[in-house]
Every structure is written in C-alpha cells, then in structure tokens.
Chain A
Amino acid sequence: MSEEEDVILETGESTVMSWIRERELSLLERLTANILKAGPMPKHVAFIMDGNRRFAEKTHVERQEGHSQGFEKLAETLRWCLNLGIHEVTVYAFSIENFKRSKEEVDGLMELARQKFNRLLTEQENLEKHGVCIRVLGDLTLLPTDLQQLIAKSVVATKAHNKCFLNVCFAYTSRHEIANAVKEMAWGVEQGLIKSSDVSEVLLSECLYSSNSPNPDLLIRTSGEVRLSDFLLWQTSYSCLVFQSVLWPEYSFWNLCEAVLQYQLSYRSLQKARDLHREDQALQQMEADRSCVAELLQHRGNGKPMDAQSRQKELLNYTASREERVRCFLNALQHKRDTFFSDLSSQAVVA
C-alpha cells in the first residue's frame, strides 16, 4: 500500500525514486522534526535492519515478501533522515554470515538486490537531482559476478554526487573489514609506500571500507536484539547505540525520533569521551614519532648528544615525512579501489 502512485511515463521511466520515497512529512511530523533539530542532530546514522523474517511470520507472508517490505521501509526511512537533516546513512543489508542461510533465501536476496540496483541505474536523473551517492561496503568478490558488475556501475555512476550518502553493507562483516584494512597496510609496506612504524589507529581507520565517511553518531538496531552482530565494531566505539524492539518493516517516524532523542540525551557524555580518546590518540602518535626519531638518531649517531632544539627539529621533520608517506599510500589505495570498481563497471558494458 504505497501512498503515491508510481507513475510510469510513456518512455517507461518512472518519476518516482525507488530508493528514496518522495512523500512529505505530515504537519505533526514536521513540528516534531523542527523541535528535535533545535538540539544536536546526528550527521551519520547506521541501521541494522533486523526483523524482516519475523515480520513475514507475523503477517503470514513469504520470507521474500518480508525482505521486500524491508527494502520499502528503507526507502521511507531515508526520506525521514533527509527531512531531519541526516545526510549520511549506513545500512547492514547482507552479512557474510548470512551466506549460511538456505540457498533459496540467499538466492532470493541476491535477486532482490539485482532488482533494486537495476532499478537504481534507471533513475540517474533523480539521483543526480538529489545528489545521492551510493557506496557499497564489503567483500564484493563473494557475490555473483553479474551483481558485482551492477553494484560497480551504481557506485561509479553516483560517485560524484555529494548531497547525501547511502552506504550499503553487502557481504560485510566488521572483522573482515578490519582484517582487510590491516592487509591493505601490509600491502603498503610491501610496496615500500609506508613503514610498519607508520601503522596507527588513524591510518587503520583510513584503510577501512568506510574511510570516506565519518564515524556514525547513532546506531539503531530494530527487532529487540541487543548485539552488534559484527557491524561497524571499530567505527561505533563512541557512537550512541539504540536498541528498539519494533520489527524493521514496521519502523515508524516516531521510532526514529525516539532514537534521535536518545542520541541527544547521551550527546555530552559521548562528546567528552570522544575528545578524551582523540587526545589520547594524538599523544600516542607523538610518543611513537619520538621513539622513531630517537631510534633514527641512534643509528645515525655520532656519539654527540643533540640539544633540545635540534631534537625538536628532527621530530618535526620526521612527522612531516611520515605524513607525506601516508598521504601517498592513501592515494595509491584509493586509486586501487577506484580501479576495481571502474574495471568491473566497464566489464558490465562489454557483457
């Protein structure tokens, strides 16, 4: 029961975006949104969209229908987020663990994904108008090749958009993401771009699939489960976690407002904790740089002790050169990733 007609014009193109509902908020909803926006608002929200299958059982429909309804709810939720000024959303669509499900269900989910990404590719104009950038995070090589190509095309097509961002975690687990980031850093070391002493918390964060996004401010999990299930474990260390018992396909605007309110209540404590952590990080980096410089000087050493001023100069030089190395490495990494997507995308055209 959609609230607006999906008008298919003569050319066969739809005026309605499938991934973001075009419905406007009601008066009461707008009022509530405006009141909430008077306080601190999350800029990036992550969703674990749990409860599709339980919803299907509850309403006596097929599981596949439950997942389909789940997608519709996603489109609605994205609209609410935009209305609330939340411009970045990350969703947990498919975990690597979900491959354990029955072949029927997995194939059904892959088919749903194919449908939705195909549809997305027909909505280029709308996506450009709204400035929607779609990113897909995960180990895409685990997916069927045609789906990989579809995804690559969508990602490449929306790469330049920058008004709002949707990150879809597909074939993803957080541990894989972290291990992959370590692997990339090791690759950098192999290529001679960085040294093992350059490895730091900041660098690891830059090597994650989610490196182009800030950490989520708010993580919402529906259906009453109170665990993270291998989702954004690194990135949500200082995020507000809200567990709601509503099933995902039944999610409402008011549930979202409730979560945002919870975020506002924890805001100050979280800011404090984050600032403390940032300070610790900076201190650790400085210590690491100092010990590297000390080692270097020892190697170079001609027995003469250096005065404080020259030591300081050496430290600054070292830090600058480390930062330059890291910058080059991250450029190379980004290039590697872009090439992966553009290659896949052009394969799809040829095929």
Chain B
Amino acid sequence: MALLYEMVWRFLHALLYVQRTLVAWFRVHIWRWKRAVVGLLLPLALGFHNPKKTGPIGKRTSRRIRFGAEGRTLEKLPLHVGLLITEEEIHFTDIANLVVWCMAVGISYVSVYDNQGVFRRNNSRLMEEILKQQQELLGMDSSKYSVEFMKNGTDKQEHQVLSCQSMVKVLSPDDGRLSIVQAAQQLCRDVEQREKTSKDINVTVLDSLLRESKNIPDPDLVLKFGPVESTLGFLPWHIRLTEIISMPSHVDVSYDDLFGALQRYAVCEQRLGK
C-alpha cells in the first residue's frame, strides 16, 4: 500500500515538474514572440521615414518608456527594493537591467542578494554590467547615481541627497544573522566593561546599532526570483514589514514584469497591527 502511495506521489511531482518547465518555456517564448511582432509592427506604425522615433528601445523594453513619468503614476513607490535571487545560475546582464530600471523609475535604494555570496564575490563584474546597461537602456551618462558596497561599517560613505541619486548595495547572508550576532557581541562587550547593563538592552538599542553599519532604510519590497519559496537568510531583522513578491525567474526578465510587481506593491495596504 505504501508503495502505491509513493508511486502516486512520484507521478504527482513529475506532473508538477513538467507543468513548471512548460510554463517557464512559454513565458520566454511568448516574450520573444511579442518582441518579434513589435519589432515588425512598430516601424510600420511609425512609418519608415522616421525610424529614429523608436527611441531607446532596450533589450527588454518593446516600447519607448518614460521611466520617471511611469514611476509617478504609481500610488506609492518603494523607497528600498531588494532583489533576492534564489536561482543558482546568475545572469548579470538581467540583474543589471533590473537595477537600472528600478533606479530610472525613481527607487532610491536597490539591494541585490543571493545566499551563496556570488554577488559579493563578483562585485566589480556587477558594477560593470550596471554601467553598461545604463548606457544602453537609458542613454544617459553615469553621473546620475553612485554604487556602493555593503561592507562592515568601517567605510563612512558620503550621501548626496540629490533628486536622482540612487544607491545600489550588494548583500550576502553575512549581512543578516551574522550582523545581528556582531551587534549582540558588541553589546555584551559593553556589559562586560560595565558601560551598560543588561537591562539597557531593548529593541531600539539593537536597532540603532544595526543601522550604524547599514545606513539605508528597511526594504519596503523584496522581489524574489526563482522557484525557491524562501528568503534564504535575507536581512532577517530588516524585513519585518517587507512585502515579498515572487517572480518566476530573473533570466530574460522584462521591464513589464518589474512594473507589474511595482503596481502590485502600490495597492497593498499595511495596517501595522491596527
């Protein structure tokens, strides 16, 4: 009897696997089909005599997009978006696209995370890709934003709060639980040296200590890419009120996918316990 149940279980999971693969395949191919169609029709619509009007058609945008204006149509825009990649194979170009689109739409802070520390180890490669994609997608020069690393608080960064200034941070699991442990060690050392007592320790004290090294606001939105349904160690302390929106994959992700997620975020209601 147990064998029969096991067979049914295996069959069920095989079905689900096939379904997932088909859905992923369709997603990519329908996008490609859309792009091909638009690539054909758009010049026709605009008339052959004015091909320049097609504007900055990036790799993943099939129409001319005025990013800033689109951002303003949303009821609310997240201040800080976290891109959580759960997939094993990472395509830096797609990540760079996402980062650039986020910043163009008006999001001030973007963080990039994976639980194996791949981004942390390939920081420079990511930066290069971001600069490259910025040129390609937006056609502007790179003075519009600065890129920073998430380090352990020994760097004091200058913050220029200009209207178009955005910050990109690369995160890894060390910025999660390990940071909390390091803050705890600091507080315990203070207690050891009689600078504090255990009664002085509360949420506010711990929170301000954790904010010292990461001077960015808590993520309002986390976009999770990939089939794994978990935060995989992403900033546990900071995500207490973060909306977590899942996307199937970061590979070949389009601007429309991103904007769809931002629209979902815009309509969510946070009651904050009330």
Contact = CB atoms under 8 A, between A and B. Distances in A.
Interface of A: 34-39, 95-101, 173-176, 178-179, 181-187, 189-190, 195-197, 199-201, 204, 225-230, 233-234, 236-243, 261-262, 264-266, 269-270, 273, 276-277, 280, 284
Given A186-B191, A229-B240, A266-B227, A204 B233 contact: no
B135 interface: no
Nearest to B228: A269
Contacts, number: 172
A179 B202 contact: yes
A243 B268 CA distance: 14
Interface in B50-65: none
A139 to B, nearest CB: 11
Interface of B: 2, 5-6, 8-10, 12-13, 16, 86, 115-116, 173, 176-178, 180-181, 183-185, 187-189, 191-192, 196-199, 201-203, 205-207, 227-234, 236-237, 239-245, 268, 270, 272-274
B201 A270 contact: no
B241 A186 contact: no
B233 A237 contact: yes
A158 B267 CA distance: 44
A43 to B, nearest CB: 16
B181 A199 contact: yes
A100 B274 contact: yes
Contacts of B272: 97, 100
Given A186-B191, A273-B228, A273-B233, 9 more contacts: A38-B9, A95-B273, A181-B184, A233-B236, A236-B230, A241-B230, A273-B232, A277-B173, A284-B178
A216 to B, nearest CB: 11
A200 B9 contact: no
B198 A37 contact: no
Contact of B242 (A39, A197, A228): A228
B274 A34 contact: no
Contact of A189 (B2, B192, B202): B192
